Structure 1
Amino acid sequence: MKIGIDRMAFATTDQYIELTELAEKRGVDPNKYTIGIGQDRQAVVPPTQDIVTLGARAAKKLLTPDVTRRLSTIIVATESGIDNSKASAIYIKHLLGLDDYIRAVELKEACYSGTAAIQFARGLVALNSQETVLVIAADIARYGLNTPGEVTQGAGAVAMLISADPHVLAIEPTSVSYSRDLMDFWRPLYATEAIVDGKYSTGVYVDFFKNTLTRYLQRTGRRLDDFAGIAFHLPFTKMGKKGLEGVLQDRDDAVANRLRDQLTASQVYCRQVGNLYTGSLYLGLMSLLQNGQVKPGDRLGLFSYGSGAEGEFYSGIVQPAFAENLSDVKEDLADRHRVSIDEYEQLFNSQLGMQTADVQFDLQNDDAPFVLAGQKDHQRIYQRR
C-alpha cells in the first residue's frame, strides 16, 4: 500500500520586507544577505497573526467534505508553541469547525518535528487505510532586531494531508534518522527569541546530512544518480547549498549539476519568505515540485534537520497528479504588500509574546480569514472571518 503526501498547501502573512532595504538600514552590504545568506524577502508578522492563524489558513485550503469525513487526526509540528500545555492543534481544529471526534496533538523537536509528524501519520494510516491525517508545520522564526540572526527570520505554515494512495508523493519505506544532544540552537522557556551558534549549527547540519545520506545509500544500495532532486531544510537558502556541496565536493558531472539545478528550484519560495522552521523543508519541496524539472515517477530525496539536534533522510516517488494537488504559492506571494523597515520594527515589537496583561488588537488592517484578536484572562482570543 502506498502512503504519503496527498495534498499540500502553504500560507504566510500578507506583509514582507525587502532584505536589501534591511541591509541598508543596518549598514550592511546587501550582498551579504542576498548572496551570502541567500535571502531576498522576509515575511513580517503582525500581532494579529501567530502559528494558529497561519496553520488554520494553510489547512483550510485542503479541506473538502470528503477530506473532513475521513480526517482522524491533526498533528501540528512547531517550535513556536503558544502554550506549554494545550496543543495548538486544538485551537486550529476549532477554527476550522472540525468534528470533536478528531485526535489533536502538537510535536516539538526544533525544525525536525514536521518530518516526525509525517512519519507518525504514516503509521496511523497504515493501521487504517481509510483515515487521513492532517499535518501542519507552522512557525514564526524570531531572533531579535539588529541581531546576527535577524536576516534568517520568517513565518508561515505548510499543511499536508497524509493518506493511502497519495496524489503528490508516495513515501518509500527506508528512512534514516540521527540524533545527538548538542547546543547549536535553543530557546529557553522564558525567551521569545532563539539563541543560536550559527557557525557551529551550519557544521552540524552538514555533518548530519552526510551521515544520514550515507547510511541511506548503504541500506538501499542506491546512488546519487537515482534521485531527480533533493529537497533540504532551508532556514536560509545558502544552508542547503552548503549541505549539498559537502557531499558533491568538486564533482562537475551531469548528476551533480542536475542536483544543483534542482536545489536552486527548491530555494525559490524560501528566498521570498524566510525561515519557516518546521515548514522550511516542505516549502522547499513545494518549490521543487512547482519550479524544478520534476515528472511523475521521479525519486526525490528529503533531508530534514532540527537543531539540538536531529536529522533524517528519506525519499518519495512523485505521483501522476502532483501538480494539481499543490496550492498556488506564487499567487500567495504575489498577494502580499511591502512594509518599511520602521513598520516592520514596530510590528515585531507589538507581538503578544509572554505578557500577562489583557490585550485587544486592532483588526482593521488584517483581512486574513483567521486572526488573533488579543488576550483576556490569560487566554488567547481567536476569530474566524
Structure 2
Amino acid sequence: MPLTIGFVFDDTLDVLDGVQQHIVTLGEELRRRGHDVHYLVGETHNSPVPDTHPLSRNVMVRFNGNRMRIPLPASRARIRRALADHDFDILHVQAPYSPFMAGRVLSLAAPATGVVATYHIASADLASRVGGRLLGLIDASTHRRVDEVVAVSQVAARYAETTAHVRGVVIPNPVDTGKYAAASMPTRPSKSGDPLAVFLGRFVPRKGAELLLDAIAYGEAHDLFPEGFHVRFAGKGPLLDECRRRAATLRTPVEFLGFVEEEDKPALLADADVAVFPATGGESFGIVLLEAIASGAGVTLAGDNPGYRSTLLDDRDALFDVGADHARVLAERIRRALTDPDWAQALHERELGLLARYDVATVADQVEEVYRRALAGRRR
C-alpha cells in the first residue's frame, strides 16, 4: 500500500553529506515504489529532490568533529500546516535531533502517524558523548512518540542506547550501487596506466588526509611505490592549505582537486587503483567506501575505526591501523595493492560482494517492514 512519508531532518539539503545522502537515496527508492515522499528539513534553498519543506532557519556549529547546521526554533504554526497538508502515514526522523525543529514535529504529529527514528552518530570524543546524553534527556518526552528505532550500524546503535536509552534494529545506509557503476562506465579505465591513489573527503583531522601524506613520505623514504605512482586528493576543509604545503615537499606527484560534485565522484573513484580513506574515528558507517567499490576502484582501503570495520565486515586486508605506525602500515598496504595482483583481485572481489547487502533496494525492503510495524502499533 502506498504511504505518505515525511523524512524529518534538522539540517539542510543544500549539501549532500552522509545523512543527506541517506535520506535522499532512500527517499528516491521509496518514491520509485509508489510512495509519496516529502522532506521536512531545516533551512534549505537548493534541494536536489522535490517536495522539500524547509521549516526553520539554521546556524553553523561544531559537533563530533564536524561542522554542522542546527535549527533555530521552528514555527509551530508552519509545522502544523505542513502536517495538515500532507496527512503523513509515517514520519521518519533522523536522530539525534534538535528539540527546536524535529522535536517539535514529533510533538505535533497526529496520533495515527507512525514515527520511526534512525540513528546515524558515532561518538568522536568525550564532548560528543556528554552532549549526546544531555540531548537525550532534553528529547526524552518527544522520543516517547517514536514507535520504531533504527541504527545504521552497531556503532550507531550503541550511541542510541547510551544517549537515548533505546534499542533498535540495525539497517545500513543505502547506496544506489547501480547509479555509481553506470555513472563511471564511460570513463572506467583498464587500470593499465600509471598507478593512482585517490582520497575523497573533508580536510579535517579525523578524515585522515594527513595520514595518507605520512604514508606517501614513508613510501618515498623506503622506495616502496612503483614507477609513475601519483595521488589525487578531493575535498575541502580547514586542513587543505596545510596538506598542500606538505605535499609540495614530496617527490610523488600530488594533485588537489578541491570540492567534487556528486555527479563527478564515480569517475574520480573509478580511476583509482587504490581508494584510500584513512579516517581515525567518529564514523558510524562508511558510505564513501561503498561508493568507491561500486564505482570500480581497484582496491578500497579504510582506516580501522569501528564504523568502517563494521561496513567492511572486518576484512583485515581492507582495513589498516591508524595508530602510531600508520605511515609504514598504510604505505606497505598501498604497495601490496599495486604490486600483488592476485591479492588485489581477491580483495576487489570480496569488496564487490558487499554491494548487494547495502544496495538501496535491499535497504528499502527492510525499512518498509519497519514502517509496517510502526503503523501496526499505531492502529491496534
TM-score of the two chains, using structure 1 as the length reference = 0.29
- Which has a greater percent of strand? 1
- Which has a greater percent of helix? 2
Larger radius of gyration: 2
**Greater relative contact order (Cα 8 A, min sep 6): structure 1 or 2?**
1
TM-score of the two chains, using structure 2 as the length reference = 0.30
